[in-house]
């Protein structure tokens, strides 16, 4: 299934994308896609419904982030071999973890704000995992059974904040609007091999990132299991899993986003996003 949330920010409704590409309103089935509804079995409940019995939604409206009220928005750094090489970084022996802020999460096509005092706002297309049930000390063999679905994430990053201001990476990762997520939450049964998905990202129509999840250093199952050894993952939590090469900081010379730039990105089977970047106005 391809699930989504549609409508104005803060008033989204749950939806399903049917096989013909029509959005169907799920409001009569579940109230929303949230930690609470996922915990209560929303995915299983939706799977029993015939999409043709649900009201169609007019096309062209806003799409929101795929889940609401996320508790943890966890990110993995330097998780693609070729990206580590382009940043002249050693290959990690264990996953590098940091946090993005849940309130940085926005819809896949919402505008992104370049932060006040930013000089190095950068792009990163990533595969995101949405957790479907509580995971603590889970094995790698069982890890995928804890996954509700997958989505496209844009891990927008301010490199000066991240790398030049000391402390942890989250300084450059958690600004408002720095986490577009969607358009769809795609359930695992629709993905033949999550470790073989093509990825791309364009800036102003120019291809910058081309990659595939097969070059991940630590795969999806390993990440879910690994993270669950240190903290409890709850329904609705999001893990964004790293980016392939082609980011702005790796270019020669480095190139960063400016007011008016348009970024388009996507992952095979998971849909596409597009954002316009705007300077902070205060």
Encode pLDDT of 113-139 as tens digits.
999 999 999 999 999 999 999 999 999
Checking if the pLDDT of 84 tops 90, the result is: no
pLDDT, average across residues 25-40: 98
Q: What percent of the chain has pLDDT over 90?
A: 94
Residue 265 contacts by C-beta under 8 Å, 6 or more apart in sequence? 123, 125, 152, 154, 199, 200, 201, 202, 209, 272, 273, 274
What mean pLDDT do residues 47-65 have? 97
Tell me the pLDDT band of 166, cut-offs 50, 70 and 90. confident
Q: How far apart are CA 78 and CA 95, in angstroms?
A: 8
> Which pLDDT value is given to residue 237?
98
- The CATH code for residues 73-279 is 3.90.850.10
Segment 61-81 mean pLDDT: 96
Mean pLDDT of 141-156: 98
- Residue 199 contacts residue 264 (beta carbons within 8 Å): no
pTM over 0.85: yes
Q: What is the mean pLDDT of the chain?
A: 97
Show me where the domains of the chain are located.
2-53, 73-279
The closest alpha carbon to 257, from 75, 104, 152, 111, belongs to 111
When pLDDT is cut at 50, 70 and 90, the band that residue 282 belongs to is: confident
């Amino acid at each position: 299934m391809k699930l989504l949330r549609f409508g104005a920010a803060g008033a989204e409704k749950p939806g399903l994308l049917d096989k013909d590409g029509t959005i169907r309103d799920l409001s009569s089935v579940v109230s929303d896609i949230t930690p609470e509804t996922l915990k209560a079995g929303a995915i299983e409940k939706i799977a029993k419904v015939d999409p043709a019995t649900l009201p169609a939604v007019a096309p062209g409206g806003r799409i929101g982030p795929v889940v609401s009220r996320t508790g943890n928005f966890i990110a993995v750094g330097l998780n693609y071999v070729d990206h580590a090489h382009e940043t002249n970084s050693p290959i990690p022996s264990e996953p590098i973890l940091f946090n993005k802020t849940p309130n940085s999460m926005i819809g896949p096509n919402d505008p992104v704000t370049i932060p006040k005092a930013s000089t190095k706002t950068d792009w990163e297309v990533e595969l995101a995992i949405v957790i479907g049930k509580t995971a603590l000390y889970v094995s790698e063999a069982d890890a995928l059974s804890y996954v509700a679905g997958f989505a496209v994430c844009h891990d927008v990053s301010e490199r000066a904040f991240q790398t030049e201001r000391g402390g942890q990476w989250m300084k450059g990762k958690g600004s408002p609007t720095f986490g577009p997520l969607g358009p769809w939450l795609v359930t695992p049964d629709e993905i033949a091999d999550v470790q073989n998905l093509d990825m791309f990202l364009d800036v102003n129509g120019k291809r910058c990132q081309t990659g595939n999840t097969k070059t991940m250093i630590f795969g999806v199952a390993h990440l879910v299991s690994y993270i669950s050894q240190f903290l409890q993952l709850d329904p609705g939590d999001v893990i964004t899993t790293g980016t392939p090469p082609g980011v702005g900081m790796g270019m020669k010379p480095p190139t960063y986003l400016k007011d008016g730039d348009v970024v388009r990105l996507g992952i095979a089977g998971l849909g596409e996003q597009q954002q316009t970047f705007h300077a902070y106005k205060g």
